[in-house]
Homo-oligomer: A and B are copies of this chain.
């Protein structure tokens, strides 16, 4: 670091370009919030409580985090990092189903301690206006990383992806989102049902990929590609379709 220059540290969204002093306070608030989220859940965690426990004023907390939701976003980012770290340990095997299973389980493992908090979590993440939504432009980087993780699952495996090679990672990511949603609702002991669902999903996905390589499924894979294109590109337009008037 250049002498005479104030140390700069950036957070997830890089809100205030804080100095080292500010960064320390920021970290303290964040730590306190995380602990409170984990111990008391989202609703019982109050901004006043966080501020008091961190030994700062309420307004100061808002200097570093624009809202309570922004604190949740940090949570979200931390979990995604953890998922990637865990997944790396699992990607040594070659078998496609094993790799997929492993990465999916890794995600559930990472989230497990926060299951009681998941309800509020998903509530924040699902809001279209929220930057932490998995589909928002703000989380484009995180989304790309997550899709990249599933690209690794495919690329490092012994499975030839066939005609859906390009879109397979995205499809797997979508499946992972669905599983995550299921996990949020899963009240079975230790979320055992989600574990079962992961296994079913991995098996089914593997079989579907194999199927897609068979001749005679060209029309089908084309449809899948078209559907995914609709999901993906905001600007894409299908020929001759102008949208249907709302009655």
Chain A positions near chain B (C-beta within 8 angstroms):
105, 108-109, 112-113, 118-120, 122-123, 126-129, 133, 135, 182, 184-185, 187-193, 195-197, 199-201, 203-204, 207-208, 211, 217, 219-220, 223-224, 226-227, 230-231, 234, 238, 241-247
Contacts and interface: CB of A to CB of B under 8 A. Distances in A.
Grouping DSSP codes into helix (H, G, I), strand (E, B) and loop, the A interface class, with mixed when no group exceeds half, is helix
B231 A207 contact: no
Nearest to A106: B247
A195 B242 CA distance: 9
Contacts of A105: 244
Copies of this chain held together in the complex = 2
A196 B128 contact: no
Nearest to A191: B243
Contacts of A197: 227, 230-231
29 contacts: A105-B244, A109-B244, A113-B246, A119-B127, A119-B128, A119-B129, A120-B127, A122-B126, A122-B127, A126-B126, A128-B184, A135-B185, A182-B231, A188-B234, A188-B243, A189-B243, A190-B243, A190-B246, A192-B242, A195-B241, A196-B241, A196-B243, A200-B226, A200-B227, A201-B227, A203-B226, A204-B224, A204-B227, A208-B220
Given A197-B230, A242-B192, A127 B123 contact: yes
A195 B243 contact: yes
A196 B246 contact: no
B182 A112 contact: no
A178 B109 CA distance: 25
* 5 residue pairs, one from A and one from B, having the closest CB atoms: A192-B243, A112-B246, A200-B227, A204-B223, A197-B230
A165 to B, nearest CB: 19
A207 B230 contact: no
A195 B244 contact: yes
Contacts of A187: 234
A243 B6 CA distance: 51
A126 B126 CA distance: 8
Contacts of A113: 246
Contacts of A223: 200, 203-204, 207
A181 to B, nearest CB: 8
B188 A245 contact: no
A217 B211 contact: yes
Nearest to A189: B243
